């Protein structure tokens, strides 16, 4: 399936001129009750400074009440090429949607 | 998000004809489908090497423009006429720094590191918008820049929110949200000066006169002299041609300048009823090329300032790294103690 990231220690060595500080992905919760949403990324030497940088960079206008920072290389992502096989095909599974059930049309509160 | 776009030390084939592996063929097919559907390309997707290179060039130049663009306005922060204006100008310049950072992180998703981009800028190898190589000689220039330079940037950037490369489009959405304050505060500065003393009014008019042509040239060379535009539009990166955007912008200025009670230094501005497009007088493209080639009034000064700012900030970067190392050491000794207990 090939969607998992490389096991620890097998990642390619950083190329010449690679960033001196690790990259962090920033997620911002815009208000209580909502999910954190990916806002962008930044470089910082550690998590606490990444949080401060994220506050200055992504919430200059009260855009958030909470921030997550995650080291970019800690994120495992699905492989875009496996779209067909990795994500379940909705083909022939209309019955998972309420719109499939038409006989109850017109029945109140259903 | 994921950046493993190219295995390190293994450059992608420069010429698609050289190595059209089955993966490349399938990738190209998928890429073509995405573009045809006007959908978005994301970092981990296969993309033609030329598309990647073209994006890296455009996004990094855009980022550099935001970063260098802080300088002409920072020039007036200490001399802003009131505390309110000073706070506003500082917030605007800080926004431009933010725009640069959003864009650098978008460019990084294409496999180019921030340090490579920074190094290219500081070494004078990278381009940025020629507009920022003009001097800011009066306070009214803060007004003219906000109104016209940020105004032109908005015209350019709004369609880029729909650029086919996802991270670029998303960065532009964020940028555009912030830009409208930039343009309005500039307009307000000019409006106040235009309604002030005769000297203030003259200062406002002088600033508009000087920034008008350079701001029109921000859209880039005329269409018949813009070789990259066609390909960029075919890839859905650019949505409108340079001349199209410039014409729209002139139309907006022509209306807005009336509210200011000032004039534009161009008596050939008119709305062409046949083409339904705004037209303007000739622009000095020789000057544009000279400034872009590094021979503008402030090129050397801007680069020198960027270099010294980077060098002056070295101790901050070192201190932050030392602090992070110390915190990590503290943490691991605490962990060891806990494990031993
Ligand atoms: Fe900006
Ligand atoms: Fe701006």
pLDDT tens digits for range B257-314: 999 999 999 999 999 999 999 999 999 999 999 999 889 999 999 999 999 999 999 9
Say which of A17, A21, A72 has its CB closest to residue B3.
Answer: A72
Say which of B4, B113, B320 has its CB closest to residue A18.
Answer: B113
Contact (CB, 8 A) for B167 and B52:
no
Range B112-119 average pLDDT: 92
Whether A110 contacts chain B with CB within 8 A:
no
Q: Write the CB contacts of A22 (distance below 8 Å, at least 6 apart in sequence).
A: A43, A44, A45, A71, A72, A73
Share of chain B above pLDDT 70, in %: 94
Confidence at residue B6, expressed as pLDDT on a 0 to 100 scale: 39
Separation CA B293–CA B290 (nearest Å):
5
CA dihedral defined by B323, B326, B331, B333, rounded to 10 degrees? -170
- Kindly state which CATH superfamily the domain A19-75 is placed in: Phenylacetic acid degradation B (3.10.20.520)
- Residue B180 binned pLDDT confidence (cut-offs 50, 70, 90): confident
Confidence at residue A82, expressed as pLDDT on a 0 to 100 scale: 61
A25 CB neighbours in chain B (<8 A) are 1
Confidence at residue A60, expressed as pLDDT on a 0 to 100 scale: 93
Q: Determine phi and psi for A70, rounding to 5 degrees.
A: -130, 130
Task: Provide Rg for chain A, Cα atoms.
Answer: 21
User: What letter does residue B11 receive in the DSSP assignment?
Assistant: P
Say if the Cβ atoms of A49 and B323 lie within 8 Å: yes
Confidence at residue A16, expressed as pLDDT on a 0 to 100 scale: 44
Confidence at residue B19, expressed as pLDDT on a 0 to 100 scale: 61
Q: Flag whether pLDDT at A19 surpasses 50.
A: no
A39 CB neighbours in chain B (<8 A) are 174
Find the ligand nearest to B174 CA.
1
Contact (CB, 8 A) for B15 and B9:
no
Q: Flag whether pLDDT at A10 surpasses 50.
A: no
Give which of B165, B159, B145 is closest to B65, Cα–Cα: B145
Whether A7 contacts chain B with CB within 8 A:
no
Q: Write the CB contacts of B219 (distance below 8 Å, at least 6 apart in sequence).
A: B152, B155, B156, B242, B243, B245, B246, B249
Write out the two tokens for B255.
Answer: 């209306």
Range B157-180 average pLDDT: 96
Q: What residues pair up with B278 in beta bridges, in sequence order?
A: B271
pLDDT digit string, tens, across residues B207-234: 999 999 999 999 999 999 998 899 999 9
Whether A41 contacts chain B with CB within 8 A:
yes
Q: Flag whether pLDDT at B113 surpasses 70.
A: yes
Other beta carbons within 10 angstroms of residue A32's beta carbon come to 7
Whether B6 contacts chain A with CB within 8 A:
no
Confidence at residue A13, expressed as pLDDT on a 0 to 100 scale: 38
Q: Flag whether pLDDT at A32 surpasses 80.
A: yes
Whether B102 contacts chain A with CB within 8 A:
yes
User: What average pLDDT does chain B have?
Assistant: 92
Confidence at residue A92, expressed as pLDDT on a 0 to 100 scale: 79
Instruction: Please give the residue of chain A at the shortest CA–CA distance from B167.
Output: A40
Beta carbon pairs, A and B, within 8 Å = 77
- A101–chain B nearest CA distance, Å: 31
Q: Which of residues 67-96 of A touch B (CB under 8 A)?
A: 72, 75, 77, 79-81
pLDDT digit string, tens, across residues A38-97: 999 999 999 999 999 999 999 999 999 999 999 999 999 887 766 667 877 777 788 888
Place of tokens 């200059």: A60
B43 CB neighbours in chain A (<8 A) are none
Say if the Cβ atoms of A19 and B115 lie within 8 Å: yes
Separation CA A31–CA B294 (nearest Å):
47
Confidence at residue B106, expressed as pLDDT on a 0 to 100 scale: 96
- A34–chain B nearest CA distance, Å: 19
Confidence at residue A46, expressed as pLDDT on a 0 to 100 scale: 95
Of B101-115, B299-313, B325-339, least confident by mean pLDDT is: B325-339
């Amino acid at each position: 399936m090939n969607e998992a990231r490389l096991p620890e220690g097998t990642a390619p060595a950083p190329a010449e001129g690679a960033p001196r500080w690790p990259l962090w992905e920033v997620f911002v919760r815009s208000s209580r009750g909502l999910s954190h949403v990916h806002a962008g990324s930044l470089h910082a030497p550690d998590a606490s400074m990444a949080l401060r940088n994220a506050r200055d960079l992504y919430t200059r206008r009260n855009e958030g009440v909470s921030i997550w920072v995650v080291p970019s290389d800690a994120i495992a992502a699905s492989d875009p090429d496996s779209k067909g096989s990795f994500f379940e095909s909705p083909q022939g599974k209309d019955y998972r949607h309420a719109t499939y059930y038409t006989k109850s049309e017109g029945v109140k509160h259903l | 998000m994921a950046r493993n776009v190219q295995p390190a030390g293994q450059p992608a084939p420069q010429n698609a004809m050289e190595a059209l592996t089955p993966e490349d063929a399938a990738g190209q097919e998928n890429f073509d489908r995405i573009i045809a559907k006007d959908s978005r390309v994301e970092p981990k997707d296969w993309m033609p090497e030329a598309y990647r290179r073209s994006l890296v060039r455009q996004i990094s130049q855009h980022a550099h423009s935001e970063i260098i663009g802080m300088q002409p306005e920072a020039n007036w922060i200490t001399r802003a006429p009131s505390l309110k204006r000073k706070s506003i100008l500082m917030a605007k310049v800080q926004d431009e720094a933010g725009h640069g950072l959003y864009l650098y992180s978008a460019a990084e998703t294409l496999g180019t590191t921030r340090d490579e981009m920074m190094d290219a800028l500081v070494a004078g190898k990278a381009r940025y918008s020629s507009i920022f190589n003009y001097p800011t000689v009066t306070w009214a220039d803060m007004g003219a820049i906000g109104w016209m330079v940020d105004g032109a940037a908005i015209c350019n950037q709004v369609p880029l929110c729909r650029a086919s490369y996802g991270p670029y489009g998303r960065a532009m959405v964020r940028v555009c949200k912030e830009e409208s304050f930039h343009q309005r505060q500039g307009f307000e500065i000019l409006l106040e000066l235009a309604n002030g003393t005769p000297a203030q009014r003259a200062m406002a008019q002088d600033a508009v006169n000087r920034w008008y042509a350079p701001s029109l040239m921000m859209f880039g060379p005329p269409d018949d002299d813009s070789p990259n535009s066609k390909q960029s539009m075919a890839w859905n990166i650019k949505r409108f041609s340079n001349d199209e955007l410039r014409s729209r912008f002139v139309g907006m200025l022509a209306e807005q300048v009336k509210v200011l009670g000032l004039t534009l230094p161009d008596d050939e501005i008119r709305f062409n009823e046949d083409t339904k497009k705004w037209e303007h007088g000739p622009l000095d493209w020789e000057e544009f090329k000279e400034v872009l080639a590094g021979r503008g009034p402030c090129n050397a000064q801007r680069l020198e300032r960027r270099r010294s700012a980077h060098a002056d900030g070295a101790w901050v970067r070192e201190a932050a790294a030392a602090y992070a190392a110390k915190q990590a050491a503290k943490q691991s000794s605490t962990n060891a103690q806990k494990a031993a207990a």
